[in-house]
Amino acid sequence: MKMNTNSTVVGLAALVALAALVALAASACDAKTVVGTFPDGGVPDPLAGNRQEGGGTCNPLTYADDTPFTLPANVAGSWTGYYQGCPSVTALAGSDVIKMTLTESSAGSGVIDLVFGTEPPPPPATVATDYYPPGFSMSTPYPTTFQGVTYRAHAVRWQGQRLQFVINGHVAWDSWCKLQSSYAVPGGYKCLPGDGGGTSTGTDEDAVCIANIGDQRTQVPCAQFTLCNGNSVCACDACGCAASTLSTDNFDVTFDGDVVTGVGTQCNVRLTRDP
């Protein structure tokens, strides 16, 4: 997966020089040695003064237009169905199954959760510098949704029996984001220091990823470069990072007796009430 940034990509000469440095280090250790030390899974020590250790944002991230709502009559319960004629969803997510559950919280407001597929969710992330979820990498297309993950409906709107809402496409990375350190950058915070950078060509195993930190170019783990810079799956503040709320998938469905039909993730969906 080729990452594009708005910043200048490191020049060929710089990459050649860096590759020589990596090769030199490899002769003393092994071919996977990374330039610099990474005591917390982050970037080298000289930047420690600009780093806030991971653990989540200062306050829970909010969603625009998130207000309490009441469920219409006869919609509470679970509904199971599938995407209709949408092979791209099946190819990426591995399944076209959808399960939607509508309940009321203890406070009396409605709660809507979606789970896709029939497999369990990925295990929580444990290593900040590894690609996540397991099995994905810089060259692998990332699904919009992952099987087994619970996606909460936000910005819910009811118009009679018509239901509109969004889900956060980045929620699956929350455990990975909370392992990341937060760095102050111009305009806010990120889980990688500096502004942009670039990647070398090659396989996932031998790719070199560079972060631009002022006038300094620093090699960083490609998993962090890909997910923090390219996919921007994390949102960070002065305390730490959590799953970004910027990736949203829209749903627009209508309840008609024991059937729900409409559109979700740009595909037709059909669900029926569970027994």
Written as one string, the DSSP assignment of 38-52 is -TTSSS-GGGGGGEE
Q: Is residue 124 part of a domain?
A: yes
Residue 6 lies in a domain: no
pLDDT band at 149 (very low <50, low <70, confident <90, very high): very high
Residue 57 in any domain: the answer is yes
Position 27 in a domain = yes
**First-last CA distance in the chain:** 43
In a domain, 5, yes or no: no
Asked whether the beta carbons of 240 and 17 are under 8 A apart, the reply is no
**Residue-averaged pLDDT of the chain:** 78
Q: Give the mean model confidence (pLDDT) for residues 162-170.
A: 94
Per-residue pLDDT at 91: 60
Cβ–Cβ < 8 Å for 242, 171 = no
Closest C-alpha to 35, from 228, 205, 183, 217: 217
Main-chain dihedrals φ then ψ at residue 210, nearest 5 degrees: -125, 130
pLDDT for residue 212: 81
Instruction: Assign 27 a pLDDT band (cuts: 50, 70, 90).
Output: very low
Query: Nearest CA to 52 among 180, 189, 181, 176?
Result: 181
Residue with the bigger pLDDT between 54 and 7: it is 54
Inside any domain, residue 4: no
In a domain, 7, yes or no: no
Q: In the chain, how many domains are there?
A: 1
Could you tell me if residue 3 is inside a domain?
no
Name the token pair of 147. Answer: 């099987």
3-state secondary structure of 238: coil
Q: Which residues pair with 275 in a beta bridge?
A: none
**Domain range for residue 86?**
12-273
For the entire predicted model, the pTM comes to 0.76
Q: What's the DSSP call for residue 147? A: B
Residue where the block lists tokens 């829209």: 250
Which pLDDT score is estimated for 52? 55
Instruction: Using pLDDT thresholds of 50, 70 and 90, give the confidence band for residue 201.
Output: low
Other CB atoms within 10 A of residue 211 CB? 28
Question: What does the pLDDT read at residue 217?
Answer: 82
Please calculate the CA angle 196-197-199 and round it to the nearest 5 degrees.
135
> Nearest to residue 184, comparing CAs of 130, 225, 240, 228?
240
